[in-house]
A and B are shown apart, each in its own frame.
Chain A
Amino acid sequence: MLKKSSLPLSLPARHFSGQGRLKSRYDVVIIGGGGHGLATACYLAGDYGVTDVAVLEKGYLAGGNTARNTTIIRSNYLTPEGVAFYEESRKLFAGLSNKLDFNVLYSERGHLTLAHTDAALRTARWRAEVNKHLGVDSELVFPDEIAKLCPQLNLSPDVRYPILGALYHPPGAIARHDAVAWAYARRAAALGVEIHTQTEVTGLKIENGKVTGVKTRRGDIACGKVLQAVAGMSSEVARMAGIKLPVKTIPLQACVSEPVKPFLDPIIVSGSLHVYVSQSARGELVMGAAADPYPLYSTRSTLEFKEELMMHLLELFPFVGGLKILRQWAGMADMTPDFSPVMGLTPVENYYIDAGWGTWGFKATPVCGKRLAELIATGEVPELIKPFELARFHRFQQVGERGAAAVGH
């Protein structure tokens, strides 16, 4: 048996201390320890001094979609509401490593959304004009310029879907997803927030239309306010509060290739071909496609996904044919009909929601944290997130982002 003294003298410092016992009451309980929940806890404690906060996570820290996404960050959306919101997030992201003193490997690459049809070109032009009007760097480019930005792309007209143009978004970026969650968790914990993993929420206590407590597998706790930020489980958790959501849980799959030397600088997305790809800091090609064809609460992988993805990828980059797939996985995406999130107030008093993040919510992690913290701490709904309230569906005022979010993430 190993003696204690044979362990290395200094173990690497943990990002935050292990969990202790649950208290009997917290001012704020956050259900879901993904990026969104952790960021909200961090801004609550840091910006508003609300430190009596518990983040309750069913599994391990940020093991949900935060750990499974392909980390594309951009703000070239279609609606003015969407553009303003994602642009604030992009700016927060750009300063995140400094602010949290933790390298999140934020890397500006430039983002190209390829257009292979007239309809796609039209949407690209539309987005570029909305973006520019709102001060977001975004431009329609044509094959001569694409060839300069990404000489590796197959721009030949002799393919099934030749590239006619692209929406070019120079500030498009990627970051290390786990690091984003750890950075927020570490800072939140340092400010007094409790983070409890392996702590599933199984029910809510609601009295006179007001939430007063949370039931967990480790016992019941009382609380002042509750935020649910549980991505794919949004409908099931909202059901505990008696709330119905415009959400379907649909798997989104992704994969990475074996690592190779850096050759691909920009992030390449093709909505028509249902494929997007970037090269990570480790040299792996990070690849994804459209969401699965039907709702499912599962993270299984399918052959259909890989076949379709590779077919299209090889049309764009024929020379990667020899690369091997290293890992494949899926996340459960909470899809809304207008491809915009559901954030803010709910019919239950003191119960707040952050859901409907589907396939596009990683880039929104900082702005969600910041603005939800503002909402929870002040009780005022920030202008920036008002358009995304749940009640919009009953007013028929969707924020239609399908043309900008369907495959692009």
Chain B
Amino acid sequence: MPCPLNGWRNITEFACGGEVIDVPDPTSCSDRAWADYLFMENNVRGVVREWWLHVPSSYWFIAERNTATDEILKTYPADEIFNQQVDYPSPRPSPSRVEGGNLSLPGKIIPSPLEGEAQGKGEDGEI
């Protein structure tokens, strides 16, 4: 795969991060829209646009490829698409970054959809 940062590298050095889709505003979208965003897939047989990661250099970029023919058509840096700051309106005063060095972004509260799931996370270390 031609990595926009590292040039041609073996495909085993990369990880696929899933399709490029719009993130709904987590502070105002419905539970249903959030579930759709988290779990539902277009899973198209044909040309798709996806996030890919070059693992050794920890570099995220965009790739367009054909899922029917296993061809990579195009790769480019993410800022070719994501060239604007996304500002979600805050539903309540931003959590202060002062206490405890909390690094969460002001105004961006992401619910944990996996809470209450039957299976604990991180136990299946063998995967």
Listed in ascending order, the chain A residues whose CB lies under 8 Å from chain B are 78-79, 115-120, 122-123, 126, 233, 235-236, 244-249, 270-272, 293-298, 300, 304, 337-338, 393-394, 396-403, 406-407
Contacts and interface: CB of A to CB of B under 8 A. Distances in A.
Interface stretch (B39-47, B73-81, B82-90, B98-106): B39-47
Contacts of A295: 16, 43, 67
Contact of A236 (B11, B38, B39, B45): B45
A244 B124 contact: no
A123 to B, nearest CB: 5
B70 A396 contact: no
B29 interface: no
Contacts of A120: 125-126
Contacts of A393: 35, 39-40
A120 B123 CA distance: 7
A244 B118 contact: no
B124 A298 contact: no
How many residues of B sit at the interface, in one of the four size bands? Answer: 20 to 34
Q: Is the interface of A mostly helix, strand, loop or mixed?
A: loop
Given A117-B126, A247-B43, A406-B124, A396 B68 contact: no
Q: Is the interface of B mostly helix, strand, loop or mixed?
A: loop
7 contacts: A235-B45, A294-B16, A295-B67, A297-B68, A338-B117, A394-B31, A396-B31
Contact of A403 (B15, B38, B70, B124): B124
A170 to B, nearest CB: 21
Contacts of A300: 70
B71 to A, nearest CB: 10
B12 interface: yes
Give the one of B16, B32, B36 with max A CB within 10 A. B16
Given A296-B67, A407-B126, A396 B43 contact: no
Nearest to B116: A396
Contacts of B56: none
Contacts of B123: 119, 122-123, 126, 403
Nearest to A295: B67
A115 B126 contact: yes
4 closest cross-chain pairs (CB), A and B: A119-B125, A400-B119, A271-B126, A403-B124
B27 to A, nearest CB: 18
B16 to A, nearest CB: 4
Nearest to B69: A298
A372 B91 CA distance: 45
A298 B70 CA distance: 8
